[in-house]
Amino acid sequence: MKLSYYCKSCNKKNFYQTKTKDRFELQSEVGNEINLNCTNCGTINKKHINRLSAEPNRLYAIYGLVIAAIVIIFLWELGYISGLTFTIPIYLYFDAEKKASDYNKIMVSRK
């Protein structure tokens, strides 16, 4: 999941990449707070993991779109177009949105 936060010093948006699926996993990995280096000004931001918000990875939807385009071209050659082809990128897009909103909904309790 791609997490974002705003630097306390320069207010620029920063990203933190994690393989965790929710904040509980993140908590067991990094603890309650995490020190993050701002890529813009270098300030170290100490953030509680509840304050990091997940960003949907729309890249998957773009991949899906590329695959759909290839499939469409291929099917076009065969003289056949399936409406199903378009649902792949749409599905991937909403799946990414859902995963991010699920991540944001679940807060860990402060230990």
Told to check if 41 binds Zn ion by CB under 5 A, we report: yes
Beta carbon of residue 42, minimum distance to Zn ion (angstroms, whole number): 7
Choose the stretch contacting Zn ion; rule: CB under 5 A; options: 8-16, 18-26, 49-57, 92-100: 8-16
- Of 14 and 104, nearer to Zn ion (C-beta) is 14
Told to check if 10 binds Zn ion by CB under 5 A, we report: yes
Angstrom distance (rounded) from CA 80 to CA 99? 33
Angstrom distance (rounded) from CA 78 to CA 4? 44
Told to check if 7 binds Zn ion by CB under 5 A, we report: yes
- Of 3 and 38, nearer to Zn ion (C-beta) is 38
Told to check if 40 binds Zn ion by CB under 5 A, we report: yes
What burial letters (b/e) apply to 13-40, b meaning 16+ CB within 10 Å?
Answer: ebebebebebbeebbeeeeeebebebee
The residue count for binding Zn ion (CB under 5 A) is 7
Query: Which tokens sit at 75?
Result: 């099917």
Told to check if 36 binds Zn ion by CB under 5 A, we report: no
Angstrom distance (rounded) from CA 87 to CA 102? 22
The residues binding Zn ion (CB under 5 A) are: 7, 9-10, 38, 40-41, 43
